[in-house]
Amino acid sequence: MAAITGARVRPQQVGEPYRLIEVTPYSASLGAVISGVDLSQELDEEVIAEIRRALVEHLVVFFRGQEMSPEQHLAFGRRFGTLSQHDQVKGMAEYPDIIEVRQEPTDKRNFGGAWHGDVTYLPEPPLGSILYAKEVPPIGGDTLWSNLYVAYESLSDGMRAMLDPLVMMHTPAKIYGLASRDWSKDSSMDSAPSKNAHYETAHPLVRTHPESGRKLVYVSGAFTPRFENMTEEESKPLIDFLMDHVTHEPFTCRWRWEVGDVAFWDNRATLHYALNDYSGHRRIMHRVTINGERPVA
């Protein structure tokens, strides 16, 4: 199955009618539900192109009632680019390109339980991730996303002028480094503190999305502890302000999972947060991540 990695969404396409899929906006800020698509099938390139356009336009798209094997999940992801393996969390033994996000009833810590973008510390962070609900708790376990475009656009002219030239240092050390909590002690995820997490990557704080052409604030929670040429202590007040601002409620949407749901989000323009409010219940999700490109100002 061929990927269409060279395809890009033209800004003038946004807002055009969809011919092959039905796209229903989910919230005022971001999100849309796509219907009329069976992700287990080999979809025409025109359908894939419309899904990609919906992703760029709405930032996170949802599909209900899907039934996919791991092979079909991987095949769908590859239609949008090459796949990425997490550098700190092991994938499934038989399918290393899939992370099984598993929370057992006795686990105290959940995977993704704070606002963040996925592995933004890589030199070329992901285009996006495709999360498939295999088992969900009867209550709780929602996921939230935030829109980093409107977060930037809502700032004052003076604040944007100050932020535009700044460079952010991204690192996995706070979450996966030697001083971090040991995931194996309070989580079912296959990850433990590692010296390999002690590195930094510089990305512009304000980036221009490669497909929409819109500017956004590229900040990522614990993955972004400081600005270039500044200490963490010096950086903290502004980073705290930015994280509070970009996750402001009007910029967000919240998804209540059902078995068979699929969420596909644009990691280049969103943050997300998996709520840990279902103690005593199991939650199992499969995640495939698509490679992206180096952020540019």
| Residues designated as active site | 116, 118, 272, 287
Distances (CA, A) of 42 to 38, 65, 75, 213: 9, 17, 8, 30
Which amino acid belongs to residue 41? Q
Distances (CA, A) of 57 to 12, 49, 243, 253: 11, 12, 23, 15
Bridge partners (DSSP) of residue 207 are: 216
Is the CB of residue 269 less than 8 Å from the CB of residue 91? no
CA 28 – CA 32 distance, rounded (Å):
10
CA 212 – CA 271 distance, rounded (Å):
17
Nearest to 171 by CA among 239, 95, 110, 97: 239
> What per-residue string of b and e applies to 58-67 under the rule 16 or more CB within 10 Å gives b?
bbbbbbeebe
Bridge partners (DSSP) of residue 289 are: 84, 129
